[in-house]
């Protein structure tokens, strides 16, 4: 079963399309990184999948159910980037409210996690730091024991140590429970360590949707003469090319460097940035699909 499937999904706010013509398939059991610049439509896409917003066009399913349906609500957990909490409550009250709202609630998990974080349940939520609030929201999202977790910028307000800790905890949950996770973040370097699937959104459209390993195996960073770039277009699929004096750095979709060019494996950050620099370039589905320019 796929964790996420969208067909022709679009969301318009007045005259602006936040998400448009979005065809996306994310298999279950993956940790999916959702990357894209500000205003790319990441939050809108995640809100549609969480049942917090209705699409203008197209359809979406999460674990085979329509977002917002009782089946989806029972199995999908989401954490919005605004970290919605009742700030006038104490932590214990917030947990009690969450427990009352859910059919399934792992109180032990929540208490253990908050104890490990040193968060007092008597503390008022509004008095917690931004990072602590994010940790509390994430704890409640996981205490529901979901099968799909949608996280919108969960790392944004965390310090580097807390980021490592959260990502480690997420990976443990994925390994133990077979949880599918989709999370958006600007911190691409940190996503690289945990993500097995990459979705890049640009200007509301899906630019890349494929496994991270597949993408890294089929892309190379090529270095060579700047005046050879034009000829290179005939030999490999170029995502983006940057010229710096007489040298050029090219992100290409190829398994081997052409003669006259030095190739090295790309990092996920280079890959994402390369595609974001060239919004017309697309890779949808498993590697093997041609780059559309």
Q: Which residues bind another protein (CB under 8 A)?
A: 11, 13, 47, 50-54, 68, 70, 73-74, 77-80, 82, 84-89, 93-94, 96-98, 100-104, 137, 140-141, 144
Among all chains, which residue has been given the structure tokens 């329509």?
66
Q: How far is the CB of 106 from another protein (least distance, A)?
A: 13
Q: Where are the alpha helices (DSSP H) in the chain?
A: 42-50, 70-75, 91-101, 107-117, 130-143, 160-177, 188-194, 212-218, 229-235, 268-277
15: three-class secondary structure by DSSP: coil
Q: How far is the CB of 141 from another protein (least distance, A)?
A: 7
Q: Residue 27: phi, psi to the nearest 5? A: -65, 155
Nearer to another protein, 69 or 115 (CB): 69
Nearer to another protein, 30 or 77 (CB): 77
Distance in angstroms (rounded) separating the CA atoms of residues 169 and 202: 29
Q: How far is the CB of 73 from another protein (least distance, A)?
A: 5
Nearer to another protein, 82 or 242 (CB): 82
Q: How far is the CB of 86 from another protein (least distance, A)?
A: 6
Nearer to another protein, 54 or 242 (CB): 54
Helices then strands, counting H and E runs in the chain, come out as: 10, 14
Contact 103, 144 (CB under 8 A): no
Nearer to another protein, 76 or 236 (CB): 76
Q: How far is the CB of 180 from another protein (least distance, A)?
A: 16
The helix (H) or strand (E) run that includes residue 61 is: strand 57-62
């Amino acid at each position: 079963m796929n964790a996420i499937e969208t067909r022709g999904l679009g969301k318009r706010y007045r005259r602006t399309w936040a998400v448009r013509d979005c065809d996306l398939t994310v298999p279950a059991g993956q940790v999916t990184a959702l990357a894209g610049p500000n205003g790319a439509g990441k939050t809108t896409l995640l809100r549609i999948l969480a049942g917090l917003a209705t699409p203008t066009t197209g359809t979406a399913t999460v674990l085979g159910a329509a977002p917002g349906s009782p089946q989806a609500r029972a199995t999908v957990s989401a954490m919005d980037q605004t970290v919605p909490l009742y700030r006038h409550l104490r932590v214990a009250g917030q947990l009690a409210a969450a427990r009352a709202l859910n059919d399934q609630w792992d109180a032990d998990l929540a208490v253990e996690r908050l104890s490990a974080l040193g968060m007092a349940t008597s503390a008022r939520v509004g008095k917690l730091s931004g990072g602590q609030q994010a940790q509390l929201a994430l704890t409640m999202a996981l205490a529901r024991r979901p099968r799909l977790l949608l996280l919108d910028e969960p790392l944004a307000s965390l310090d580097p140590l807390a980021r490592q800790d959260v990502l480690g905890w997420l990976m443990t949950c994925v390994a133990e429970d077979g949880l599918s996770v989709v999370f958006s973040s600007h911190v691409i370097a940190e996503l690289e360590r945990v993500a097995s699937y990459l979705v890049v959104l640009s200007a509301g459209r899906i630019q890349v949707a494929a496994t991270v390993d597949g993408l890294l195996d089929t892309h190379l960073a090529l270095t060579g003469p700047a005046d050879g770039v034009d000829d290179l277009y005939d030999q490999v699929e170029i995502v983006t090319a940057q010229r710096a004096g007489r040298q050029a750095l090219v992100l290409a979709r190829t398994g081997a460097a052409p003669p006259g060019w030095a190739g090295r494996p790309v990092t996920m950050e280079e890959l994402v940035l390369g595609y974001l620099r060239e919004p017309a370039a697309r890779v949808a589905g498993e590697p093997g699909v041609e780059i559309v320019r």
